[in-house]
Amino acid sequence: MNGYKSLKIVDKKEWGDNYFSLFLKDKEISEIVFPGNFFMVKIPYFESGAILPRPFSIARVFKEENVFELFFQVVGKGTEVFSKLKEGDYLEILGPLGNKFPIKTEKKIIMVAGGRGISPFLYLSEILKREKKDFLLIYGGKSEKDIKFRHYLSSYNTLFITEDGSYGEKGLVTDFLPKGAFTVFSCGPEIMMEKVYEFYKKTNSEVFVSLEERMACGTGVCYGCAKKIRRGDKIEMVRVCQEGPVFNAKEVVWDE
């Protein structure tokens, strides 16, 4: 039975501005992982005072080499430790966990990413292109510092946006949403995802969002990651790690 696996960091990329990628090698994971999925990653310090593993989305997959990528921003204790790891160090990781973005749709797919919320849409762009699906990726950040993967994304249909106009278009991602009926995927700050949903909710579009909530187990045992979700006419506390992280935006109780 599978639990945490100890995987070697085969490569590391320092993007600058507190963004990093770690590349890990594992055949099974590289084969089965799908955008939307995430991993729980233990903080690899001996007797660390930070005991809980941290969740990270799948970013890219390099199937030929059995390598996959986690992309993250340093925001606290755990991510700081991860940022200091080196090639050759090991990480204990559990997953892939969680559900997937539902790409079986006839409609054109619009992906809306804010900052580090870009992660799931990297590999997804590759998959959609391979499957010859029509899609647009809208990727926004505060300034050009927050826009990474520029070269990689240049092969895909990407609209870059920054609040200060220092890279791509100037404004908020929500200023550039195309009108129409789409299947919309969004990942980023909750307020952004909510606005994306507001924009499309009266159209014939369906919006799916990847929710973030503090997690402790990732396996569903602790009920720590529950969020209010509409199920029929009831509001339930649903575990993001089990029934998410991807939810239909109309089920999400936004007014929190």
Partner 1 sequence: MSEIDLTTKIGNLALKNPIILASGTAGYGYELEKYINFNEIGGFVSKGIYFDPRKGNDSPRIYETPCGMLNAIGLQGIGVKRFRDEIIPFWEKYDTVFGVNVAGETEDEYVKVVEYLEREKRVDFFEINLSCPNVHEGGKSPSWDSQKTFSIIKEIKKISKKHIMAKLSPNVTYIEEIAKAAEEAGADSISLVNTFVGMAVDIKTKKPQIKNVFGGVSGPAIKPMALALVFKVFKSVKIPIVGMGGISSAGDILEFIISGASAIEIGTATIVDPRASLKMLKQLKDLMRALNHKNIKDLIGSIITGG
Ligand X SMILES: Cc1cc2nc3c(=O)[nH]c(=O)nc-3n(C[C@H](O)[C@H](O)[C@H](O)COP(=O)(O)OP(=O)(O)OC[C@H]3O[C@@H](n4cnc5c(N)ncnc54)[C@H](O)[C@@H]3O)c2cc1C
Ligand Y SMILES: Cc1cc2nc3c(=O)[nH]c(=O)nc-3n(C[C@H](O)[C@H](O)[C@H](O)COP(=O)(O)O)c2cc1C
For ligand FES, how many residues bind (rule: CB under 6 A)? 12
Span from 109-117, 141-149, 190-198, 235-243 in contact with partner 1 (CB under 8 A) = 235-243
Which residue shows structure tokens 């939810």?
247
143 contributes a contact to a copy of itself by CB under 8 A:
no
Q: In what order do the strands lie in the sheet with 67-73?
A: 54-57, 38-41, 90-97, 5-16, 19-25, 67-73, 61-62
- Of positions 42, 133, 195, 239, contacts ligand FES by CB under 6 A: 239
d(CA 132, CA 63): 19
Check binding of 145 to ligand X (CB under 6 A): no
Distances (CA, A) of 132 to 63, 102, 109, 207, 211: 19, 16, 11, 21, 27
Choice between 119 and 174, CB closer to ligand X? 119
Name beta bridge partners: 92: 6
Interacting partner of 73 out of ligand Y, partner 1, ligand X, none (Cβ under 5 to 8 A depending on kind): ligand X
Per CB under 6 A, 186 contacts ligand X: no
The span from the CA of 26 to the CA of 15, in Å, is: 23
Total site size for ligand Y, rule CB under 6 A:
2
Contact 36, 245 (CB under 8 A): yes
The one of a copy of itself, partner 1, ligand FES, none whose footprint includes residue 227, by CB under 5 to 8 A per kind, is: partner 1
List the one residue from 25, 44, 224, 248 that touches ligand FES (CB under 6 A): 224
The position carrying tokens 């790409």 is: 103
* Residue 133 Cβ vs a copy of itself, minimum distance, rounded to whole Å: 43
Say how many C-beta atoms besides its own lie within 10 A of residue 63's C-beta.
Answer: 13
Q: In whole angstroms, what is the distance from residue 155 CA to residue 150 CA?
A: 9
81 binds partner 1 (CB under 8 A): no
Which of 50, 222 has the CB closer to ligand Y? 222
222 binds, among ligand X, ligand FES, a copy of itself, none (CB under 5 to 8 A by kind): ligand FES
Residue type, 151: H
Determine if 42 is a binding residue for ligand X (CB under 6 A): no
